[in-house]
Amino acid sequence: MRKSIMTKENFKKKGFRDTLSQFATGVTIITTLDSDGGPVGITVSSFNSVSMDPPLVLWSLAKDSYSVPCFQNAEYFNIHILSIDQEDMSNRFARPGVDKFANIDIYPGLGDTPVLKDCAALLQCRTQHQYDGGDHIIFVGEVLSHNHSAKKPLVFHQGQYASTLPMAVC
């Protein structure tokens, strides 16, 4: 592996993005309600566990995202870990300006927040903290309810969707 020391002068954002793309992540959709009680949802890959006791998770959202005020003011939000067959849903929720919930079967979660069906896993959370994270806001939520299925998760790696394969046991 080649070593180099980065300075502000030679730091390349594309190179940084390419480096980060080597880390495979799960794909999630985060949902909540807007100030009028309408459903809001976005595709997010910046999700991680924080603590088991209390049960905390985090995710981040770009400060220039249209839905920032909805999540900043939300008491509750849901994290849907997508299954391998939900690539189309991931793409839909990643696009601005479309009716993301059109023809999608949802049910009410905590605080009547929209819950998507048939995901690999679901975490229903209450917002605990929000932190400045450069060009993103980091949201920390307390997990109040969770469940999972046997479905394989959708993964994102090197700028494209991927799947997981079990390693051979020797």
Residue 2 has pLDDT above 60, yes or no: no
Q: Domains (ranges, CATH) in the chain? A: 26-157 (2.30.110.10)
The DSSP call for residue 166 is: P
Dump pLDDT digits (tens) for 64-75.
Answer: 999 999 999 999
Stretch 32-49: mean pLDDT: 95
Provide the pLDDT for residue 31: 98
Residue 168 has pLDDT above 80, yes or no: no
Residue percentage of the chain with pLDDT more than 90:
73
Q: How does DSSP assign 79-115, residue by residue?
A: EEE-BTT-HHHHHHHHSTTS-TTTT--EEE-GGG-EE
Contact, 155 vs 22, CB < 8 A?
no
Alpha helical stretches, state H, the chain: 13-20, 68-72, 87-94
What is the predicted pLDDT for the residue at 157? 82
Question: For 158, left (φ over 0), alpha (ψ -120 to 50), or beta?
Answer: left
Look at 94 and 16; give whichever has higher pLDDT: 94
Q: CB 56: neighbour CB atoms within 10 A?
A: 17
Q: What amino acid is encoded at 136 in this protein?
A: H
